[in-house]
Structure 1
């Protein structure tokens, strides 16, 4: 392998990262950018590895990389298809408006919005959870200053809810699939994560003193829609139980649940020529999936040239809990998917409690800046008043909530280890 190749690949990885950060400036979809840099990096590795032993090592590395990506992709496709169906049928909206009264104090509504965003994002992907929550906020027609407070809580709550469930956040799923934490470990993150959301809502709710009027909507929901919602919830529970009891890979359980959804729709006549059930697969966020593909290809190439060893140096200099906290802060600037992938590929040695801390840090740390998470980007695109600067005014409150949540996770994890010992 020539000496210039590692430097070239690192330059391509940096270019890919910059393309993500400045997506709104260069007007090129980040999925397109990172997919190009990721695929091109592996092509260069094959081209400049003529020696049989190194060439075979590169081939094995790519096959392992593709296998990891395929498992992640198939799981997300199954989960996102469920949500796309239920969202289009209006079942999610119906649940929201059924739970909310016609009139409610703004303070109470802020807390309920945070709790809903937290719970829903643990079941659905962050983008869908944000879109649904933002639609509720916009329907209230609040003044700009109040809308910003609601949006800030939604972004933080969506990211917080996802960390405790493999269905809620891709970084949580990545850490789980790498065998660093179990499903039962992740469930323990729910309490401190929710506590942090409630703390943020408490801090931002103080100026809210009026009553909000909620315009209730009703969508016609068929029996088959309710049954498919039950299949979705059953699939989530079966995924957790199957993994804990029989070590069944989550992707396998979710694909089984998806097949039941298809067969159920067919049996109830929902799978028609004008509305084929398989078409809901096309309605999921494929640009998000392509982004994950490109990022993981880039990080895989970085592993092949040992460019990720620098992460090990940080963990050797400062205590692990400090390094994990800093990684959470870094995820507000660098997308948490490549950051998490890099840490996993670098093979940082941590115990279960420390991996739980990292899971929370990289999942929630992106909330500190509006550009640090997919939830923030989606909310910013839908709410005109929400900008980088307007969101920044709540940085201290966000940082305090993040700190409390992280401290709670460490405390919970420490109790877990002591009990297990």
Structure 2
């Protein structure tokens, strides 16, 4: 389905290139353009079919992201073309990719540190030991997902809270399915209004499409859309409460140093925001500064807590998902190559011929099938002339649109793996209408807030 969605996007871009679009020099119709397009489609097919071929998506992503530029270089040398434009594109791409990769690397390291200090295990124990009803647990996990995702990212949030659901009750499928969908939708909605919550929002913020406070203005649309979906889903949550045996469950508390790491994490995010907004530094500099604080703290912790389990910063780094970072490098490079060749001019023509609002709404639906990272990267590389309200709309739709299909977001894919056989594509699609209604409500709230009231 992702492969078909990719083809649909390509055809839509092609048909949208007619009409009044300005003709520009590009390499889309040359052999290098055709060859790179084929490499991208074939490579993305293997990325989308990761579960079928059991090939980590980072492998085809890094191949297409590098091979396309080598082929472009060969074409330009053979035809005696000036290589400075290619060099300029690569230099710009390196800055873009490094900003995102280093940012995510620090964020993932902090998450691993919090996991090792039992911060999230303590949260899980406190939830399951209170004797709450299924409906109360449904709403609690949703609220936590919505407000944890802006800091911890949507994938980590979804994985942690889906584990909580399984801990609560492994047998009650009605509760598990509704709870899983609620967590995925809440995590994606929470990530949409924070530059730290979703990769697409981070990409838009890093590209300078809005300030930190600009993205926070998406909060009403995000939370109202999620609440509507959650209310509809709650009708499928069974009555009663899960059984919990205090005698059989070992109490979990945060390990020494865990609360300090939480404080350092908040300071790290603050430094990233302030550095970006006031000093125009890439957000990754604030994150790397926070990483240095964590490293320094681990040194002094070892000196002052000789009898306690030490804090190993570089061990935490070794546990982060490096394949995810490689995937981002590959896919962003591949889209950058398509932009250099001129393919994204078709996307600009699509905005001109159909209008910004309809296309930005469609981006959310397409991102559920194709994956929001390459779609958002394509929009940012095409860089259509849009005002802040439209950039925030495409950020919103790309962030929450992935919830429409179970594998449309990293959060959904992660929960499918964690709750294999329970949270499936079929189970998700039976209740997808609730998500679609929430998606429409979010767009309606955006329209009233931004286009009618001008509150942003």
Any idea what SS the aligned residue of 2:132 has? strand
State yes or no: 1:121 paired with 2:149. Answer: yes
2:296 counterpart of 1:260: no
Question: Which residue is equivalent to 2:423?
Answer: 386
Look up the match of 1:236: 269
Per-residue CA distance 1:211-232 (angstroms, 9 max, x = gap)? 2345665334344221111110
2:175 match = 146
SS in 2 for 1:228: helix
Structure 1 residues 214 and 314: CA distance shift in structure 2, 3 A: farther
Query: Which of 406, 423, 444 is 1:407 aligned to?
Result: 444
Q: Which residue of 2 is the match for residue 306 of structure 1?
A: 342
Change (3 A) 1:293 1:210: same
Q: Which residue of 2 aligns with 1:34?
A: 61
Quote the RMSD (CA, aligned, Å): 2.1
* TM-score normalised by structure 2 residue count: 0.87
Which ranges in structure 2 are unaligned for 5 or more consecutive residues? 1-26
How far is 1:399 from its partner?
Answer: 0.4
Deviation sequence 1:335-359 (CA, Å, 0-9, x none): 1000000111111111101111100
Alpha-carbon distance in structure 1 between the residues aligned to 2:113 and 2:455? 42
Q: Given the alignment, which residue of 236, 242, 255 partners 1:212?
A: 242
TM-score by length of 1: 0.94
> Are 1:16 and 2:46 counterparts?
no
Matches within 5 A, 1:90-101: 90-98=118-126
1:179-214 CA distance string (max 9 Å, x none): 111110111112221122221111011233222345
* Distance in structure 2 (CA, Å) of the matches to 1:70 and 1:242: 17
1:399 to 1:47, Cα distance in 2 relative to 1, 3 A:
same
Alpha-carbon deviation of 1:96? 4.3
CA deviation after TM superposition for structure 1 residue 127, in Å:
2.1
| Distance in 2 separating the partners of 1:218 and 1:237 | 33
Q: Does 1:290 align with 2:326?
A: yes
Q: How many equivalent residue pairs? A: 419
Q: Residues 148-297 of structure 1: matches in 2 within 5 Å?
A: 148-207=177-236, 208-213=238-243, 218-269=251-302, 276-297=312-333
Q: Distance in 2 between matches of 1:330 and 1:309?
A: 18
Residues 362-395 of structure 1, C-alpha deviations (whole Å, 9 max, x = no match): 0110110011111111111111212111111011
| Residues 263/415 of structure 1: CA separation in 2 closer, same or farther (3 Å cut) | farther
Displacement of 1:245: 3.5
Residue 18 of structure 2 corresponds to: none
Kindly state the Cα deviation for residue 241 of structure 1 after the two structures are TM-superposed.
3.4
Partner of 1:112: 140
The whole-number CA distance in structure 2 between the counterparts of 1:389 and 1:145 is 14
For structure 1, which runs of at least 5 residues remain unmatched after alignment?
A: none
Does the 8 Å CA contact 2:107/2:287 hold for their aligned counterparts?
Answer: yes
Evaluate the alpha carbon distance shift between residue 257 and residue 300 of structure 1 in structure 2; reply closer, same or farther with a 3 A threshold.
same
